[in-house]
Chain A
Amino acid sequence: MGLVTYVPRWVPLFALSQRTLPRWLEEWLDLIPVAILSALILPSLVTAGEPRQLSLWNIDLLVAVPVLLFALRTRSLGGTVVLGMALYWLAGKFLG
C-alpha cells in the first residue's frame, strides 16, 4: 500500500517540476485545487448513508454556513477551525 500511495505523488513532481508546462496545462492545474476542495466538501455535507443519499438537514451542513461566512470575512484559518469546533459542539448539545 505504501507504494500505491507514494507513486502517484512522486511521479508528477519529478516529471513536471523540471520543465516549463504549456500554458493551458498550467491554467488547468490552477483550477484543480478549488475543484478538488469543492468535490471533497460538498458531498460530505449533503449526502450520507451507504449507499449514499441526499440528506440536507444535518448538523454538518448547518454549521458549515456560518463557518463559511466567517472564513470569507476574516480569512483566518485558526479562527475558522476554532469557530467550527465551537459551533459543532454547541449544535450537538442543543440540536443533537
Chain B
Amino acid sequence: MPTPAATADRTSTLKDGIRAAWPICLGYVPIGLAFGVLAQKAGLSPLAIGLMSVLVFAGSSQFIAVAMLEAGSGIAAIVATVFTVNLRHLLMSSAISVCLKGLRRRWLALFAYGITDESFALNLVRFREGNWDWKRALTVNHVTNAFWVVSTMIGGLGGTFIPAHAFGIDYALMAMFLCLLVYQLRGRLYVVTGLIAGIAAVALSLAIPGNSYIVAASVIAATAGLYIRRRYPKIGQAKGQA
C-alpha cells in the first residue's frame, strides 16, 4: 500500500507535468488532426494511424513522411528526410542527457521515446529552473504523446468535419516555440548564438531543400558560440553566473 507521502508525490508529479504540458497539447491538436486527415487520404486506417503515432511519435517527421507519400516521393527520399529530421533529436537527446545523469536504463529508454522538439525545449527549461525531475519530465513527454496519438486518430476518423483554423489554433505551436526560445536567452552569448543559428538556417534553407538546414545551422551556431565564449569571456557570461 503506497504511503500517503508517496501518493501525494505521485499526484503532484502528475499535476506539475500536466500544468507544464498543456500548451504543447493545445498546439498538437490541430497538427495531429491535420496529420490524421492526410494519413487517411493516403490510405491509412485510423487504427494504423494510431499505431504509427504510438510507435514513432516524432510529430513533424510523421507529417513530412505522409506528405511525401501523397506527393509520390520514393521510399529512399522519405527515409533520408525522416533520418535528417531526427538527427536533431540526437542533438536534443545529448543536450538533455546532462539532466538525466545516473538514471536507470529502463527509464532512459522510456524517456528517449518521448523526446520531441517541444517536450525537449520545455523540459530543458524546467530542469534549469529547478524543482524538476525526470518523473515530471517523463510525464510531460507522455501526456503530450497521448494528445498527439489521440488527435491523429480523430483526424483519421473524420477531421474534415472539424472546422479548420478555429481561434487561430494553427499558431499555437509557433507561439510556444517563440516563448521557449525566449527562455533560452539567458545572456548575450545565447542571443548571439540564436542570431547566428537563425540567419544560417534561413540561408541554408533557401539553398538546400529538405530539413538538413536545421541540424547544420544548429551545429554551426553552437560551434561559433563556443568559440565566442572562449575568445571573448565577457560576452559569455550568462545571467546568474559569477
Report whether chain A binds chain B. yes
- A residues sitting closer than 8 Å to B (CB atoms) are 1-2, 4-6, 8-18, 21, 24, 26-47, 51-54, 60, 63-64, 67-68, 71-72, 75-78, 80-81, 83-90, 92
In the bound complex, CA of A46 to CA of B206 (Å): 10
Given A43-B205, A46-B202, 16 extra CB contacts under 8 A: A6-B56, A6-B112, A12-B93, A14-B108, A29-B94, A32-B222, A34-B193, A36-B218, A37-B177, A38-B221, A42-B197, A47-B205, A71-B178, A81-B176, A86-B168, A88-B170
Inter-chain contact A52/B108, CB cutoff 8 Å: no
Inter-chain contact B113/A6, CB cutoff 8 Å: yes
- B residues sitting closer than 8 Å to A (CB atoms) are 22-23, 26-27, 52, 55-58, 61, 65, 79, 82-83, 86-98, 100-103, 105, 108-109, 111-113, 115, 117, 120-122, 124, 165, 167-172, 174-185, 189-190, 193-202, 205-206, 209, 213-214, 217-219, 221-223, 225-226, 229
From A38, A43, A77, contact of B195 by CB (8 A): A38
From A35, A53, A88, contact of B197 by CB (8 A): A35
Inter-chain contact A42/B121, CB cutoff 8 Å: no
Given A17-B108, A28-B223, A31-B225, A37:B180 Cβ within 8 A: yes
Given A4-B86, A84-B178, A17:B202 Cβ within 8 A: no
Main secondary structure of the interface of A (DSSP, over half): helix
Inter-chain contact B56/A5, CB cutoff 8 Å: yes
Kindly report which residue of chain B lies nearest to residue A15, judged by CB atoms. Answer: B97
From A39, A67, A84, contact of B213 by CB (8 A): A39
Inter-chain contact B222/A81, CB cutoff 8 Å: no
In the bound complex, CA of A28 to CA of B94 (Å): 10
Inter-chain contact A72/B182, CB cutoff 8 Å: yes
A83 surroundings in chain B (CB, below 8 A):
175
Inter-chain contact A42/B199, CB cutoff 8 Å: yes
B95 surroundings in chain A (CB, below 8 A):
29-30, 32-33
Inter-chain contact A31/B190, CB cutoff 8 Å: yes
